[in-house]
Amino acid sequence: MGTIYNMKTRSGNAAANQFINTDATINGVHGELFQSYSSNIALKPSDGSTAILDANYWDYSVTTGQYRNEFLGEGIAETRDKIAQGAYLLRDLNS
């Protein structure tokens, strides 16, 4: 069974409304999920296949972006490049 936990702020406190679910299944894909508030933002499949970002919410706000960058281990420019190159998929993760 997986764990859901708050991400950490720069000062080490629990980040309000920013979560990691270590055992999520979205649209039949299992993996680690980043959620901002109640929206699914990014899913890293446990089989190592291409990460999936929500087409509508992946770049929703500065705060979402900050924690998405942390989750993916990269900055926004690299994320945009990976989307353009097809290294990340954009899909609806919230239906």
Q: What residues make up the domain containing 65?
A: 4-91
Tens of pLDDT, residues 10-46? 999 999 999 999 999 999 999 999 999 999 999 999 9
Query: For the residues 4-10, what does the mean pLDDT come to?
Result: 96
Residue 52 has pLDDT above 70, yes or no: yes
Tokens read off for 51? 């990460």
Q: Give the whole-angstrom CA distance, residue 33 versus residue 13.
A: 20
Write a three-state SS string for 23-38. EEEECCEEEEEEEECC
- Residue 2 has what pLDDT? 78
Residue 57 has pLDDT above 80, yes or no: yes
Kindly report the average pLDDT of the chain as a whole number. 96
- Residue 1 has what pLDDT? 62
Q: Identify the residue whose tokens are 């690299």.
A: 78
**Domain total for the chain?**
1
